[in-house]
């Protein structure tokens, strides 16, 4: 029986047949890879937000390490703080394909803007096998939808290259942006992924604990 593309992708990364397939970009496999990465991250967001009291006290690095560990459990090669023209918060690999993520604690739209600049202008080369990524923001503020709109508006206003955003997806509370990567000239596509740790219950038992 002839092997399928899925069979080849299941081979070790060093397998020459797999490397040739990935390098050739056959069948839009890079986009397929990135879609799988982002789907797994969305599952991680659900887990974080279902367990806010256990995670809200963690720092930026600890949260990103936890996210990378979840991706590894899904079968991805994912690492925190790998060197990619600097120390990129999250690098997910499959053969020659890479998805880059930059994570920030939400201390305001200016700090988020710096994360966008680091991802686009420093870490990602924006080439044929690396022209998608994600901006991950850990926030303890209320109203994730409003935060996402504010952050998109700040990027459009301040970034030197024209950036366009998709409509916000109400099912995932994420949005996607695209702009010309300044190094490669290719369209660079970013998934904007806020993770909310806002947790202020107002029920009777919560009020009693406060008192």
Higher pLDDT, 6 or 95: 95
Section 137-147 average pLDDT: 95
Does the pLDDT value for residue 25 go beyond 50? yes
Encode pLDDT of 163-175 as tens digits. 999 999 999 999 9
pLDDT score of 12: 73
Query: How far apart are the C-alpha atoms of 74 and 99, rounded to whole Å?
Result: 15
Indicate the domain borders of the chain.
29-210
The whole-angstrom separation of Cα 150 and Cα 135 is: 14
Closest C-alpha to 120, from 189, 41, 42, 193: 189
Per-residue confidence (pLDDT) for residue 209, from 0 to 100: 67
Rounded Cα distance between 132 and 101, Å, is 9
The distance of Cα 166 from the centroid of its chain, to the nearest Å, equals 16
The whole-number pLDDT of residue 133 equals 97
Tens of pLDDT, residue by residue over 81-106, are: 664 756 799 999 988 899 999 999 99
| CA separation for the pair 34, 139 (Å, rounded) | 24
CB of 106 closer than 8 Å to CB of 141: yes
Dist. CA 58–CA 102, nearest whole Å: 17
pLDDT for position 27: 46
């Amino acid at each position: 029986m002839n092997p399928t593309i899925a069979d080849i992708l299941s081979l070790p990364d060093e397998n020459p047949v797999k490397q040739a397939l990935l390098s050739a970009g056959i069948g839009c496999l890079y986009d397929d890879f990135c879609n799988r990465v982002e789907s797994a991250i969305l599952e991680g967001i659900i887990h974080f937000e279902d367990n806010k009291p256990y995670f809200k006290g963690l720092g930026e690095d600890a949260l990103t390490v936890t996210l990378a560990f979840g991706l590894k459990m899904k079968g991805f090669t994912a690492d925190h703080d790998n060197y990619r023209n600097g120390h990129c918060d999250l690098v997910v690999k499959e053969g020659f394909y890479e998805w880059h993520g930059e994570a920030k604690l939400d201390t305001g739209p200016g700090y988020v803007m710096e994360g966008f600049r680091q991802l686009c202008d420093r870490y990602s080369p924006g080439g044929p096998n690396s022209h998608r990524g994600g901006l991950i923001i850990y926030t303890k503020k209320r109203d994730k939808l409003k935060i996402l709109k504010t952050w998109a508006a700040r990027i459009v206003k301040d970034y030197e290259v024209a950036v366009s955003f998709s409509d916000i997806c109400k099912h995932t509370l994420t949005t996607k942006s695209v702009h010309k990567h300044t190094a490669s000239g290719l369209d660079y596509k970013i998934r904007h992924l806020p993770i909310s740790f806002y947790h202020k219950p107002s029920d009777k038992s919560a009020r009693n604990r406060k008192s």
